[in-house]
Structure 1
Amino acid sequence: MFASKTDNPLRVPSVIVRAEQRTVHQADGPVRAGIPEHGRIPRYYAVKVRLLELIEELGQGAVLPTERELAERFDVSRVTLRQAVTELVLEGKLSRRQGSGTYVAGPKIVQRLSLVSYTERLRRKGIEPGRNLITLETLHAGEDLAGDLDIEPGADVIHIERVLLADGERVGLESTYLAAQRFPTLLEVFDPSSSLYACLSDKLGVVFAEANERIETVLATPREALLIGTNPALPMLLLHRVSTDAGGRPIERVRSLFRGDRFSFTTHMRADD
């Protein structure tokens, strides 16, 4: 039967199944994951659940009531409320704007992992891509980089570092390394504000065939956080990629750092993969 209702704003609804003496929670929400086995719900998490309900009611772009108003509504301290709000900011469900308030964030940009350029992936979703050049230089390859690009250690490599934009918003930071000997004219024909993939394909005749990619979660360094314009405590998605042509020859090594509150990635798998 249903648990009795209460005016306590921190109460999390549940259904009691007497036959098995266990609690069944909603299947599509965040409640079950936040409740420890002993059943005692952290106070901040109960507030977080209520905030998620409020976010759904308000809708994208709406401003959240003030911290004082929410603390009074949920009958909790501001410290407890702040912890719940901070988690929702880190998860990308809320966004803070200095001097303005806290807003309901829009949906994350969902990207499929594929051999398609950042430019093309965003345009397919109706989002305007952009880039701000940070670094364009020639360096000497260390052993690891040389191994990835199949060149001798100490050989020249072209390093291109750019802030990635989505509809004018800074969402990531990308560093690309290419063998200078293989692409001696790249710096003459490449426009840093445009797609590198398009330049390699259309102007230099490069055909991308395969790529090995690894994803992990990290925190941005102070420099990276400053360039992307985000809180250093915000989780980031870090992608490492080495792309090759049809002959298996490395084309590039890329390190892409994306805001975890704005991006998620999908892939398709088969049984024989």
Structure 2
Amino acid sequence: MPRPDSTARPYRDGVPEHGRVPKSHTVKMRLLQLMDELGEDALLPSERELAADYGVARSTLRAAIGELVMEGRLRSARGRGTYVAPPKLMQPVSMGSYTEAVRSMGLTPSRRVVTLEHHVAKPDLAERLRIRAGDLTVHVERVLLADDEPIGLESTYLPLDRFPTILDVLRPEGSLYRCLQDDLGVVFAEMHETVETVLAAPREALLLETNPALPMLLVMRTSYDPQGVPIERVRALFRGDRMGFATRMRA
């Protein structure tokens, strides 16, 4: 039997085949073990203590902590130290509202309005909504919160001709999905969604109360009714350190 090709799988359990592991990775593994022992929301010992215990320079320790912060496993609070972060919120990839998804996690959803306006559709948006460039849309932009913590920034665009009364019936802090279904009789039949990693623009990072250097998850979605007519175009930016997505697939 031929030997496995190690070049096709250069890493095994985080360790390169050549066996040379950066010190920061070793420290990271030890920190993960410590975090399991301490538990959620526990305060880590000081950098000085940890560097001494692990026998490494503080710069090496900071590199390991920085990776764990970017991954959302640790949270740093200026002047207060570094804490073990709670688990990420995992939102199902499904045709449902943010409200329902957050409630299913045992948290309280809410929204903070940023923008409610009429917006002129540029060619790309017009193509997605199958309207003419220059037509008016309704733009609803809100910060999504879970237990009052900013998690995402969502911008939704709807054709004004189709939904002329949406701003009259929408509760700004409520579910737009539910408003469209229950108040306007809209039936959602299909959605096309993409997810990619990006960095937040300064304005977005400010609204999300996060570091612009942390990775974000950008969700772009177009929803359709049973006749295949676009209902909405959504751009949602989620904090990568606090949010993930889950789906179930069957053969």
For the criterion TM > 0.5, the same-fold answer is yes
Q: Distance in 2 between matches of 1:148 and 1:56?
A: 46
Selected match of 1:122 from 95, 102, 109 = 102
CA drift of 1:32 comes to: 3.6
Is 1:215 the counterpart of 2:215? The answer is no
**Equivalence for 1:35:** 15
**Equivalence for 1:150:** 130
- Does 1 or 2 have the higher relative contact order (CA < 8 Å, sep 6+)? 2
Selected match of 1:111 from 91, 111, 131 = 91
Q: For the aligned residues, what is the CA RMSD? A: 1.2
Q: Distance in 2 between matches of 1:98 and 1:248?
A: 50
**Equivalence for 1:76:** 56
**Equivalence for 1:48:** 28
- Any residues of structure 2 matched to 1:229-268 within 5 Å, and which? 229-268=209-248
- Any residues of structure 2 matched to 1:185-200 within 5 Å, and which? 185-200=165-180
**Equivalence for 2:46:** 66
Instruction: State, as a whole percentage, how many aligned pairs show the same letter.
Output: 59
Structure 1's unaligned 5+ residue stretches are: 1-19, 21-30
Q: Distance in 1 between matches of 2:12 and 2:40?
A: 25
**Equivalence for 1:203:** 183
CA drift of 1:33 comes to: 4.1
CA drift of 1:137 comes to: 1.0
Q: TM-score, normalised by structure 1?
A: 0.86
Q: Which has the larger radius of gyration?
A: 1
Letter in 1 for 2:238: F
Selected match of 1:228 from 208, 232, 249 = 208
Is 1:93 the counterpart of 2:65? The answer is no
Deviations 1:191-218 (A, max 9, x none): 1111001111111111111100001011
Give the secondary structure class of the aligned counterpart of 1:176.
strand
CA drift of 1:99 comes to: 1.6
Q: Distance in 1 between matches of 2:174 and 2:78?
A: 31
Letter in 2 for 1:242: T
Letter in 2 for 1:237: L
Is 1:138 the counterpart of 2:136? The answer is no
Deviations 1:97-140 (A, max 9, x none): 12211000111111110000000111122111111111111111
Give the secondary structure class of the aligned counterpart of 1:255.
strand
Deviations 1:32-68 (A, max 9, x none): 4432222111011100000000000000010000011
Q: Distance in 2 between matches of 1:213 and 1:148?
A: 12
Letter in 2 for 1:157: T
CA drift of 1:83 comes to: 0.3
The total of aligned residue pairs comes to 242
Structure 2's unaligned 5+ residue stretches are: 4-10
Give the secondary structure class of the aligned counterpart of 1:64.
coil
Q: TM-score, normalised by structure 2?
A: 0.94
CA drift of 1:247 comes to: 0.9
